[in-house]
Amino acid sequence: MSVGQFEELLQTVAPHLMRQTTNFREPIDPEQRLAVCLRFLSTGDSFTTIAAMKQTCDVLWETLKDTYMPVPNEELWKTTALRFSEKWNFPNCIGALDGKHIVIQAPANSGSQFFNYKGTFSVVLLALVDTDYRFLVVDVGASGSNTAPEPGALPFVIVADEAFPSPSLPWKTPAR
């Protein structure tokens, strides 16, 4: 992130990050809060070494979501499909999907709910991007399903790797 980009982002979120000075404490200024939050998000450092992230992340989300993560609609899908066809010669594609396990400390009393095949506890970060690698949809930790859509329900496709096998295809993914 350039200094200019940081300053632009700070201008957008600073009013929401301002806190009142009290007799007990002086607040952390918005610039420091944003810098620490971005450091956390980029390095994956633990919450115990960097405090007050949730509120700053909430402010970032609320102030930026409509600009950078608009709710997908039919027009967006059509535009994205056209761009995939023009740029990558892949017709009717509305996005590229990938996921990543984000290692976490197991929540209390969660049993094996967050335990994965890699032998760690994690939540899954899923992201769908357009032709220019811009996020269309991001989902962290939601439960999914492996069911096919109704025939003819969606004229578009999403490209992904072998981690996302299509349930409608007649072959099976080979065992590893």
Which of residues 149 and 109 earns the better pLDDT score?
109
111-167 pLDDT, tens digit each: 888 888 888 888 888 888 899 888 887 665 554 444 444 555 557 888 888 887 766
What's the pLDDT score for residue 55?
Answer: 82
What's the pLDDT score for residue 14?
Answer: 93
Is pLDDT at 170 greater than 70 in this prediction?
Answer: no
Give every CB contact of residue 82 below 8 A, 6+ residues apart in sequence.
Answer: none
pLDDT cut 70: percent of the chain above it: 79
What's the pLDDT score for residue 46?
Answer: 62
- Burial letters 30-48, b for 16+ CB under 10 A, else e: beebbebbeebeeeeeeee
Pairing between β-strand 135-140 and β-strand 122-129 as defined by DSSP bridges: antiparallel
Bridge partners of 99?
126
Tell me the mean pLDDT in the region 15-41: 88
From CA 138, how far away is CA 147, in angstroms rounded? 20
What's the pLDDT score for residue 144?
Answer: 47
Q: What are the Cα distances from residue 96, in Å, to 30, 160, 163?
A: 35, 6, 13
What's the pLDDT score for residue 146?
Answer: 47
For the chain, the first-to-last Cα distance in angstroms comes to 39
Q: Return the domain boundaries, the chain.
A: 3-68, 74-159
Q: What is the enclosing helix (H) or strand (E) of 5?
A: helix 3-17
79-100 pLDDT, tens digit each: 999 999 999 999 889 999 998 8
Three-state secondary structure call for residue 68 = helix
Q: Give the pTM.
A: 0.58
What's the pLDDT score for residue 30?
Answer: 92
